[in-house]
Amino acid sequence: MIDGIVPGSGPVSITTRVHGLAPGEWTVRADLMRLPGGDGRYRPGHDWSRVGSPPVHRAAWSWRRWALSIAPATPVHTRWTPLVRLARLPAVIHGSWAAFVVAGVIAGLALQGAILAQEGISIGQSLAVSLLAVVSGLIGAKLWFIAQHPRSWRTSAGEGWSVNGFLVGTPLVGVAALLAFGLPIGVFLDATAPALFFGVAIGRLGCFFTGCCAGRCTSARWGVWSSDRRVGARRIPTQLLESFGGLMIGIATLILVLLHASPIGGGIFVAGMATYVLLRHVLLQLRAEPHRPTLRTRLTAAVAALVLLADATVFLLWPAT
């Protein structure tokens, strides 16, 4: 049963896997089925019935036209189980997540180093602190995901990372490293803000092309055809929206840093983080997987809003005091 598809969303692709087959070539066909009653609900004793329509054809994907088409009905080859995850999927580029994340980290470190160099902090020290923070953030991202998915994370141990865990682990270890090196915490954090959010802007593109963190299916024209690695359809582009939000926060914090607009050290970093928390609170509600608001998430958003308001008040009133 396929859930989440909405009428009027256009062409849809379904990716499925069958394990335990004999190696070789298989001729595969698919038919559209439905449950009695037409409401999609299963009733004991009722069986699926075939819908009176032509068979479902195999799909081909065009990157140039960004569209599905009907693929030839050729036999399908079996794959060695470890290589199944590398099978071609519409709108998915395997390995793109790691590539974009690495690119985001490199771009962020380069920008941070350039800003800190103007403040008289050596690139070697800033790089050491940043690498410790990034590694700790990745560990935090994995642990956060495991805590949220204690039963299922082992099925795909190489996948599953939480941005929340990264955003918690990175600042904690980064501040501890700054204290150990005797570097100015406020200056370092403010220089890190644009680097961090430019990195988010780049890294989230990898999520889009990998098919993780996908948005809900939509019939709206502004939806973008993408896949969650099982169902390809027109979706709310949550990854692209988060990437764009990260880019805007990065540009804003970079301008503030270059203008030395922060009256207190670390104020720009705090403002950027609070804005990003609010952005994620909204976008999580648009994801394909259920993210129902809880008391904890509402409190987090409320605290972020209060912190942003207080930070903005300090920015506006400090010169007059």
Domain ranges in the chain? 96-320
Tell me what pLDDT residue 319 has: 60
pLDDT value for 256: 93
State the virtual CA torsion across 164, 185, 103, 271 in degrees, nearest 10: 50
**What's residue 267's pLDDT?**
93
Q: What residue ranges of the chain have pLDDT lower than 70?
A: 1, 34-54, 151-161, 319-321
Residue 22 and residue 86: Cα distance in Å, rounded?
Answer: 19
Ramachandran quadrant class, 95 (left: phi over 0; alpha: psi -120 to 50; beta: rest): left
pLDDT of residue 320: 47
Summarised one tens digit per residue, pLDDT across range 72-101 is 888 888 888 777 777 888 999 998 989 999
Q: What is the pLDDT of residue 321?
A: 43
Length, in residues, of the chain: 321
Q: Which helix (H) or strand (E) holds 234?
A: strand 231-235
